[in-house]
Amino acid sequence: MKMLQTKSSLTIIFSLQLITGVPIIFDRGVDDYYWKLRADLLQSEESIAFGGDLHLDENEICANHILMCAKYKEIDEAFYNQREFLPRANFLTVQKKIEQSDVFKIIQKMPKGALLHAHDVATVSQEYVLWNVTYRPDLYVCDIEGKLKLQFFETPDKYCNWNLLSKLRVNASIENEINKRILNQMSMITDDPARAYSDGDKAWEKFQSLFEFLASFMRYKPVFEDYYYQLLKESYDDKIIYAELRTPLPTLYDLNGNKYKGLDVVTIIKDNVERFIEDHPGFHGVKLIYSKNRRVNKQQLNKYLKIYKQIKQAYPSFVAGFDLVGHEDKGPALKTFAEQLLPETQMQGFFHAGETDWYGLETDENLIDAVLLNAKRIGHGYALPKHPKLMEILKERDIAIELNPISNQVLNLVSDLRNHPASILFAENYPIVVSSDDPGLWGAKGLSYDFYEAFMGIMSRNSDLRALKKLALNSLLYSSISDDEMVKAFRIFEKQWQEFLSEMDEKFQP
């Protein structure tokens, strides 16, 4: 019996040697080798995981110690009381608790590089929209079948029973009630998301209604301009130095009856970006990704591609690329437009693809078409681990995945972020950037919340400062900025990083 046990143990050891490449030297007992090979195997996994290829200097090691003490404490306490583990709960119910986390507070201080996946009109905080935008003069309100519609007028049209919002708000009780209704119509926030959004379709119905509500009054030119400035300010305050924003280039209006379309809107955005950079020299800049809803026909897509070529020709360094957005399960598959997009493969694509929990349907196969259509980055890529061959190709071509943890949770793809398929991508060091998608619609700002959820809920307990730093570095490396711009961006980032390390030493020491 003893010989059989030894033989079995040796079989295990030889198998582990084959996996790890660690040679066996018979100068101690079999059990010693078991524990050595076990440690080596864990070390091997850690070295190939996301961030494992980075090395920390002395100051970073000190900062990492502070960070990991906080992380281990939070995770280990939750291990014995899982209700306290925040990433397992819907973000809408735990936002305030996240803000109290020591890990989150550290992440807030950390430079995050670039925001690469965000939709412009859904990115600014709700507080700004409510108190700054809806309290402006000339804003009218109309109640249509229990839903509010807001629009700026000099003289309101006759298609609705419009009331000047400022007059209604003179009455405090009416003001309070209207504000509650406005917040409800521009927010996913609810006390019971599991009941309100019992499936993905219900979540998407609510989600799309928010854009419809915001559209009419956010397209007022003075509001749109100030909104963009505020978007950059909130990003900058969260240690973001560069952004690539998806925008449909909506038609803007003013009180004089003027309309601003396409190229005019790009010019308006560019002017506001330049104004912000002038006020904030530490901000590197913005590029636009022209994005239209995927629920279009081929004729409409041709029209959008024509607009894209026009704005790209006018502002080649400001317009980064093109995307089709919206609910993938309800829209035409990307292959529907393959023949139109194939001649445009030199056009930089940033396609939303694989934002689904289905397997083997056209929706998750959008991932295949995104790669074949030469995507520079893929938005979401939630279904990617179901396509092992495609995963190999992504790594070979170095195509980045834009991961949006909170968006995936709020829109009901995954309830507990520990089960997010991106954990596989982190374990195998795929090119990943973390983004925020539509943070203003669920009460978040910037990137800190999504960084926290990825770091605590999707990555390993042992993922450390190297992983967070790599997220920031990746966001610049996989951006659309030129080589010359990249040098400047990394110089800004490195300065911020050193300031972060100094602040960690001063403020977070126990």
Residue 30 has pLDDT above 80, yes or no: no
Q: What percent of the chain has pLDDT over 90?
A: 87
- What is the mean pLDDT of the segment spanning 187-199? 95
- Look up the CATH superfamily of 94-124+212-497: Metal-dependent hydrolases (3.20.20.140)
- What is the mean pLDDT of the segment spanning 261-272? 97
Higher per-residue confidence, 2 vs 264 = 264
Annotated active-site residue 380? The verdict is yes
CA distance 49 to 458: 12
Residue 22 has pLDDT above 70, yes or no: no
Residue 5 pLDDT: 42
Residue 256 has pLDDT above 50, yes or no: yes
At 151-184, the pLDDT tens digits run 999 999 888 999 999 999 999 999 999 999 999 9
Average pLDDT of the residues of the chain: 93
pLDDT category at 478 given cuts 50, 70, 90 is: very high
Determine which one of 74, 355, 365, 402 is catalytic.
Answer: 355
Residue 19 pLDDT: 53
Using alpha carbons, select from 216, 217, 243, 239 the residue that is nearest to residue 229: 243
- What is the mean pLDDT of the segment spanning 125-138? 97
E strand segments, 68-152: 113-119, 139-144, 147-152
Q: Would you state the torsion angle of the CA atoms of residues 436, 438, 440, 446, taken in this order, to the nearest 10 degrees?
A: 20
Residue 344 pLDDT: 79
Name 244's bridge partners.
287
> Do residues 460 and 49 touch, judged by C-beta distance below 8 A?
yes
Residue 7 pLDDT: 45
- What is the mean pLDDT of the segment spanning 387-403? 97
Residue 190: phi, psi to the nearest 5?
Answer: -155, 155
Name the 3-class secondary structure at 435: coil
Determine which one of 117, 119, 352, 380 is catalytic.
Answer: 380
Residues 6+ apart with CB under 8 A from 510: 66, 69
Residues 6+ apart with CB under 8 A from 323: 246, 289, 290, 291, 292, 349, 350, 351, 352, 379
pLDDT category at 300 given cuts 50, 70, 90 is: very high
- What is the mean pLDDT of the segment spanning 115-123? 96
Residue 35 pLDDT: 85
pLDDT category at 346 given cuts 50, 70, 90 is: confident
Domain ranges of the chain: 2-48, 94-124+212-497, 128-200
Residue 6 has pLDDT above 50, yes or no: no
pLDDT category at 345 given cuts 50, 70, 90 is: confident
Residue 510 has pLDDT above 90, yes or no: no
pLDDT category at 2 given cuts 50, 70, 90 is: very low
Residue 24 has pLDDT above 80, yes or no: no
